[in-house]
A = this chain, B = another copy of it.
Amino acid sequence: MSIDEIDTPALIVDLGAFDRNIAKMAGYVASAGIGLRAHAKTHKSSAVARRQMAAGAVGQCVQKVGEAEVLAAAGIPDILVSNQVVDPRKLDRLAALARGATIGICFDDLDQVSLASAAATKAGVTLNGFVEIEVGMARCGVAPGRPAAELARRIADAPGLRFEGLQAYHGRAQHLPTAAEREAAIHGAIGAVRDTQEALGTLGLEARTVSGAGTGTFRVEAESGVYTELQAGSYAFMDLDYAAIAGADGRPYDEFEHSLFVLSGVISVSGRDWFVVDAGLKSYSGEKGPPRVHRADGWTFLGMSDEHGKIGLSAGSARPKLGDKVALIPGHCDPTINLHDWYVGVRNGRVEEIWPIDARGASR
């Protein structure tokens, strides 16, 4: 089937660009001597996870137990919930997964340690405990240094838990506009990790794993010498939010290629200087701004509503015909992917694969 025959709206992956993104990151982490624990909150798909694992990833990150369940069922052997889980029912579900896979979980509170320990003990498994340290993101995480080390001690002492390492992800750093700002933020995170390692040492503990980093900063963490694995996710697809930051040379960030698009179809050409496509807020997320027309040729995205996208024609630009296909680059890949049930993989204009988004909606 050609790309022009795909029923719209559809979530499209340019397999050439996707393969190059996967290979570039895999080559980089291999040369840097660091692991890649790719973040499944982005792709929500065991098909993508398997491709990342085949390219050498050490495991996958998830944010939710429901995502871990999907990946574990697909045979992913090593999964870290890079997030806090406190509901006993969720912890029971997570502990059950540890019978067949290595399962990690993050902590920033002593009460969580008791709850997770109880679930792991009941299930007869061991969960890998990570202390999440606050590295400048101001969201979850305990203070680095002594407070983090003390929490690690409690994890190490808790039945059913094993202290594995540190979660040190700086989400806010990923989208700081300049490379210098991002680097400065991550240097702060690196300092927080070092302080915590020192404090761990005084308690006779060691962080075997230090996990963090994203698509906007991964080289800084990788070159720090303190991080042992990277949690990038968007690198496989890219989006406008990452395209908007500057690279080290001041030009737009181009470490990775746009491989993800929402394919739309033209449904109305009655506008004087605009036309309308069939993809709106139920096909891409809008909180980082509207999508951009791929290979625009004078077409500017003007407005998004639930099921419509309005695209402006500049003077002299070609007018589309009803049914023409228009590829849109989403503003933010993660919540966009979560709106769809499958990816359509396209190579050289032909449909080659369909990948189920089997963790779509798995937010519990």
Q: Give residues in A with beta carbon < 8 Å to B.
A: 7-10, 41, 63-64, 83-87, 89-90, 108-109, 111-112, 134, 138-142, 171, 265-271, 274, 276, 278-279, 281-283, 285-287, 303-308, 310, 322-323, 332, 334-335, 338-341, 361, 363-364
Number of copies: 2
**Residue from B8, B86, B268 in contact with A323 in the complex, judged by beta carbons closer than 8 Å:** B86
- Residue of chain B at shortest CB distance from A44: B282
What are the residues of chain B within 8 A of A269 when measuring CB–CB? Answer: 109
**Residue from B266, B307, B364 in contact with A9 in the complex, judged by beta carbons closer than 8 Å:** B364
- Whether A363 touches B268, Cβ cut-off 8 Å, given contacts A89-B7, A109-B322, A308-B139, is no
- Residue of chain B at shortest CB distance from A85: B267
- Residue of chain B at shortest CB distance from A39: B306
A276 & B306 in contact (Cβ 8 Å cutoff): no
> Which of A112, A303, A307, A338 has the most chain B CB atoms closer than 10 A to its own CB?
A307
- Whether A8 touches B108, Cβ cut-off 8 Å, given contacts A140-B276, A267-B140, A307-B64, is no
Give the CA-CA distance A89 to B8 in the complex, in Å: 11
B363 & A283 in contact (Cβ 8 Å cutoff): yes
What are the residues of chain B within 8 A of A274 when measuring CB–CB? Answer: 138
A322 & B86 in contact (Cβ 8 Å cutoff): yes
- Residue of chain B at shortest CB distance from A143: B270
- Residue of chain B at shortest CB distance from A271: B138
A268 & B307 in contact (Cβ 8 Å cutoff): no
**Residue from B10, B282, B310 in contact with A338 in the complex, judged by beta carbons closer than 8 Å:** B282
What are the residues of chain B within 8 A of A279 when measuring CB–CB? Answer: 363
What are 29 A-B contacts with C-beta separation under 8 Å?
A7-B87, A7-B90, A7-B364, A9-B363, A41-B306, A63-B307, A64-B278, A64-B307, A84-B267, A86-B265, A86-B266, A86-B322, A86-B323, A87-B323, A109-B270, A111-B322, A139-B276, A139-B303, A140-B268, A140-B276, A171-B305, A278-B363, A282-B338, A285-B285, A286-B287, A287-B287, A339-B339, A339-B361, A340-B361
- Residue of chain B at shortest CB distance from A274: B138
CB proximity of A334 to chain B, nearest CB, Å: 5
- Whether A8 touches B41, Cβ cut-off 8 Å, given contacts A84-B267, A267-B84, is no
What are the residues of chain B within 8 A of A85 when measuring CB–CB? Answer: 267
A281 & B270 in contact (Cβ 8 Å cutoff): no
Give the CA-CA distance A267 to B63 in the complex, in Å: 12
Give the CA-CA distance A303 to B171 in the complex, in Å: 12
B283 & A304 in contact (Cβ 8 Å cutoff): no
CB proximity of A178 to chain B, nearest CB, Å: 21
**Residue from B87, B285, B303, B338 in contact with A265 in the complex, judged by beta carbons closer than 8 Å:** B87
A41 & B307 in contact (Cβ 8 Å cutoff): yes
Which 9 residue pairs are nearest across A and B when measured between Cβ atoms?
A: A286-B287, A140-B268, A63-B307, A84-B267, A108-B270, A281-B335, A86-B322, A282-B338, A287-B287
